[in-house]
């Protein structure tokens, strides 16, 4: 697959707000096909908002977002998803009231096509035998880690063009986190551009080819992962100083 070819995802001076509360101030970065970007920063820096703006859940108030070179700014979330961008939101990203199989069908039928549905379901179950066992259980009865596996199965079977994973490893057992990162490596090999929002800085930096550090909704650092560690430490220490939170 192509590494370092065309940008799969580009953000250009993106601002966003929740009602009157502004959350992002001119965020810019880009990810190449088959590359991985780690999005780091303290709580409340705007990491999840970046993920939401990219997938269209929160509208950008200014700036441009391009997926695979075409402008998706202002498009509804479903139209952006159809351009091949997949956003796994923070926390629960699956439908509680539906069964495991229904969750997979909902996602795979559109992306793999109706004809390949059965084959791709089989692939998902082969990759995660646990899900095959539970295929008719309601997802709400699964544990948090198992629910995360359902989310992963959806993107692994048909790798998207861009995968935005928001804290996918949060609260998982270390062995499951290993699974998650193995899955990331897999989809990346198939040409997916990865944006990984992460609290576990070392884990993310080990995977990524680029790092972006956010602070108070702005980009504090863009560059190779090696330089990010220092910035993250700096940002965190600045944050812990009293009275620094409302400097902006």
Partner 1 sequence: MEQLLGFAVPGVPYGCAYAVFAVGLVLTYQTTGVFNFGYGAQAYASAFVFAWLVDDHAWPTWAAFVCAVVVLGPGLGLVFDRFLFRRIPSTNTTAKIVTGLSLLVGIPALLPVVFGNGNLVGAPSIVFNPGTVYFHLGAGVPVNGTYLSAALFTVAMLVVLVLLLRTTHLGLEMRAAAESSRLLELEGVNARRVTATAWAVSGLMAGIAGVLLAPTEVTIQPQDYVTLMVAAIAAAACAALRSMPVAALFGVLIGVVSLTAQGYLPTSSFWYSAVLPAFPFIVLVGALLFVPGLRRLGQATDPLSSVDPPLPLPAARARGREIDRIVRTGFWALLFAFVASMLTWMPPAWETVLNQGMAYSVVFLSVTFLTGTAGQLSLAQATLAGIAAFTAGQLASHLGLDFLAGAVLGALAASLVAGLLAFASLRLRGLGLALMTLAAALLFDVAVFPAQAVSGGTGGLALESRWLPLDLLSSNGHAYFLLAFVVLVVCAGAVTLVQRGTVGRFLAAMRGSELGAAGVGVNLAWQRVLAFALSGALAGVGGTLLAIQQTVIAPGEFNYQLSLAFVVIVVTTGVGTVEGAIQAGIGLVVLEQLLQYAPQRMQGLAFVVFAIGALTYAAHPEGIVELEKRRWTGRAERALKRLRRAPAPAVTGRP
- The alpha carbon torsion through 162, 177, 229, 30 (nearest 10 deg) reads 0
- Nearer to partner 1 (CB atom), residue 106 or residue 119: 106
Residues 55-74 that bind partner 1 (CB under 8 A): 55-58
- Separation CA 43–CA 73 (nearest Å): 26
Tokens found for residue 204: 């993310």
Q: Which of 115, 116, 117 is nearest to 106 (CA)?
A: 117
Tokens found for residue 16: 């966003």
Task: Please choose, out of 16-24, 39-47, 173-181, 225-233, the segment that lies near partner 1 by the rule CB under 8 A.
Answer: 16-24
Q: Which of 22, 109, 127, 239 is the binder for partner 1 (CB under 8 A)?
A: 109
Does the footprint of partner 1 cover residue 224 (CB under 8 A)?
no
- Nearer to partner 1 (CB atom), residue 139 or residue 220: 139
Q: How far is the CB of 17 from partner 1 (least distance, A)?
A: 8
Q: Which of 41, 63, 89, 217 is the binder for partner 1 (CB under 8 A)?
A: 89
Q: Which of 61, 71, 74, 78 is the binder for partner 1 (CB under 8 A)?
A: 78
Q: For the chain, how far is it from start to end, CA to CA, in angstroms?
A: 43
The set of residues, in sequence order, having a beta carbon less than 8 Å from that of 227 and lying 6+ positions away, is 211, 221
The single-letter DSSP state of residue 188 is H
Burial group, residue 46, by CB count within 10 angstroms (0-12, 13-18, 19+): buried
Phi/psi at 10 (nearest 5 deg)?
Answer: -130, 135
Q: Which of 32, 86, 192, 210 is the binder for partner 1 (CB under 8 A)?
A: 86
- Nearer to partner 1 (CB atom), residue 18 or residue 245: 18
- Nearer to partner 1 (CB atom), residue 89 or residue 225: 89
Task: Please choose, out of 64-72, 83-91, 182-190, 200-208, the segment that lies near partner 1 by the rule CB under 8 A.
Answer: 83-91
Kindly list the residues in this chain that would bind partner 1 in the complex (CB under 8 A). 17-21, 52, 55-58, 76-79, 81-82, 86-87, 89, 91-98, 102, 105-107, 109-111
């Amino acid at each position: 697959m192509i590494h370092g070819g065309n940008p799969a995802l580009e953000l250009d001076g993106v601002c966003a707000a929740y009602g009157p509360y502004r959350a992002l101030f001119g965020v810019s970065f880009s990810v190449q096909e088959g590359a991985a970007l780690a999005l780091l920063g303290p709580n409340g820096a705007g990491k999840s908002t970046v993920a939401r703006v990219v997938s269209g859940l929160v509208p950008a108030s200014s700036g441009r977002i391009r997926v695979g070179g075409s402008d998706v700014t202002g498009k509804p979330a479903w139209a952006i998803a159809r351009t091949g961008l997949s956003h796994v939101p923070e926390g629960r990203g699956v439908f509680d009231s539906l069964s495991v199989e229904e969750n997979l069908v909902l996602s795979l039928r559109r992306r793999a096509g109706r004809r390949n549905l059965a084959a791709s379901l089989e692939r998902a179950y082969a990759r995660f035998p646990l899900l095959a066992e539970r295929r008719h259980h309601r997802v709400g009865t699964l544990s948090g880690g198992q629910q995360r596996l359902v989310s992963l199965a959806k993107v692994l079977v048909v790798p998207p063009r861009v995968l935005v994973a928001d804290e996918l490893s949060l609260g998982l057992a270390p062995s499951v986190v290993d699974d998650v990162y193995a899955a990331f490596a897999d989809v990346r090999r198939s040409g997916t551009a990865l944006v990984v929002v992460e609290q576990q800085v070392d884990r993310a930096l080990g995977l990524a080819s680029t790092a972006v550090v956010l602070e108070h909704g702005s980009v504090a650092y863009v560059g190779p992962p090696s330089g990010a560690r220092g910035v993250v430490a700096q940002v965190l220490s600045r944050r812990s100083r009293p009275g620094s939170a409302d400097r902006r």
